[in-house]
Amino acid sequence: MVGILVKNPNDQISIIIPTYNESQNILNILKSIKNNLPKNISAQAIVVDDNSPDGTGKIVDDYLKNLKKITDYTIEVIHRKTKDGLGSAILKGIQQAKGDMIVVMDSDFSHPPQIIPKLIDSIKKYECDIAVASRYIKGGKIENWSVKRKLISKFATIIAKKGLGIETKDPMSGFFAFKKNIIKELNIDAIGYKILLEILVKTKNITIKEIPYTFQDRELGSSKLGIKTILDYYKSVWKLYRYGKPLEKQEKRSSVKFLSKAARFYTVGASGFAVNYLVSLSFAGGISDMWYLHANVIGIIASITSNFILNKAWTFGDRDFRLKKTISQYGKFAMFSSLGALVQLGMVYLLVDSAEISYPLALILAVMTAAFGNFVLNKKWTFKEKLVS
């Protein structure tokens, strides 16, 4: 019987190989990948080169000119103009990938091509969505890294796992395979080196399997890991940490939310003192020679205004500055501020005169009480929040 060979769509894979100054490695790795591909699979290798000064991109172009076309293994190069980082290079490659399954790997032989079939197999056999080549599970290891480099990697891994709640043992791996459709709906930022981490954080309900391998430090060329890479890493972790958590949703305990807003309100109040003081002084002598009481009125208005703006935008996170609404809020805020001043005066008088408490202590108690009252009133009436939510 003559069968018709119909290829399962899963049998087309794309392999993304980012390069920057890998002239000594690139052709060898492309050949080694080809030799290690499983049978019955067609692969598209995509080299993403960032205009490497050592001519890596051109080396591949020249190689392709003389290569006779093999249908089951095609190679193409994406030339980017500038070195925009590993993560975005990989993303660029993914966007051009035709395969339903994608493999991402380095070009410097740190990621042994012999592992590729295992990654592909585990996606097919176990029907998982991502297969991660892992240094940190049983059977995996790192060869020839300095203690310092190992520590940096371990530390970064712990941050990712604890900070972002990741269970994968090696979320910092740059060697992994996945089904392309799992990232279809995602908005990938691709800051820094660690695109896998971003995929792990942003995907939901996916299955992940880790395959052990030995990471070998490169023999040729040099690593691009520098201080910028590390800073970018923390920037991306911070961004991922806040991912899907708008300001209000970050803290669920209502008592904590209430207190943290009260703390902001007090902080703003303290800044208001400074504004009041500085504006009053500068109008009564600094920038004009106003009568000191007039200058003080300007100082008070200035501090109420700055308090209002800071509390609106920062304490209560209300960024709706439409004129009518803002003016009406400002009116209430100013009214409560005056009320607060009256409460403060009355309380100081009572405490000092009737309760015989010392003036400094009475002042502190009165300011705290008035500020707290102001906070509660403004929360409820000016910014229309539930008192405790």
Give me the residues that bind Mn ion (CB under 5 A), please.
Answer: 108, 110, 218
Question: What is the spatial distance between Cα 130 and Cα 126, in angstroms, rounded to a whole number?
Answer: 10
Q: Does 225 bind ligand GDD (CB under 6 A)?
A: yes
Nearer to ligand GDD by C-beta: 18 or 269? 18
Question: What is the spatial distance between Cα 43 and Cα 117, in angstroms, rounded to a whole number?
Answer: 12
Shortest distance in whole angstroms from residue 72 CB to ligand GDD: 24
Can you tell me which of 23, 41, 60, 106 binds ligand GDD, judged by CB under 6 A?
106
The interface mask with ligand GDD, positions 17-36, x = CB under 6 A, is -xxx-x--------------
Q: Does 11 bind ligand GDD (CB under 6 A)?
A: no
* Residue 272 binding partner per list ligand GDD, Mn ion, none, with a CB distance cut-off of 5 to 8 Å that depends on partner kind: none
Task: Find out whether 309 and 326 touch, Cβ atoms under 8 Å.
Answer: no
* Residue 316 binding partner per list ligand GDD, Mn ion, none, with a CB distance cut-off of 5 to 8 Å that depends on partner kind: none
Can you tell me which of 36, 144, 181, 223 binds ligand GDD, judged by CB under 6 A?
223
Question: What is the spatial distance between Cα 88 and Cα 86, in angstroms, rounded to a whole number?
Answer: 6
- What are φ and ψ of residue 65, in 5° steps? -60, -40
Task: Find out whether 168 and 200 touch, Cβ atoms under 8 Å.
Answer: yes
Quote the tokens at residue 152.
């940096």
Question: What is the spatial distance between Cα 373 and Cα 199, in angstroms, rounded to a whole number?
Answer: 47
Shortest distance in whole angstroms from residue 226 CB to ligand GDD: 9
* E strand residue ranges, the chain: 12-19, 42-49, 73-79, 101-104, 130-134, 141-143, 176-179, 208-212, 214-216
Q: Does 134 bind ligand GDD (CB under 6 A)?
A: no
Nearer to ligand GDD by C-beta: 183 or 196? 196
Distances (CA, A) of 82 to 19, 88, 96, 119, 306: 12, 11, 18, 31, 44
The interface mask with ligand GDD, positions 188-217, x = CB under 6 A, is -----x------------------------
Quote the tokens at residue 94.
């993914």
Nearer to Mn ion by C-beta: 174 or 299? 174
Nearer to ligand GDD by C-beta: 160 or 348? 160
Q: Does 308 bind ligand GDD (CB under 6 A)?
A: no
Question: What does the binding site for ligand GDD look like in residue numbers (CB under 6 A)?
Answer: 18-20, 22, 48-50, 83, 85-86, 89, 106-108, 110, 153, 172-174, 193, 218, 223-225
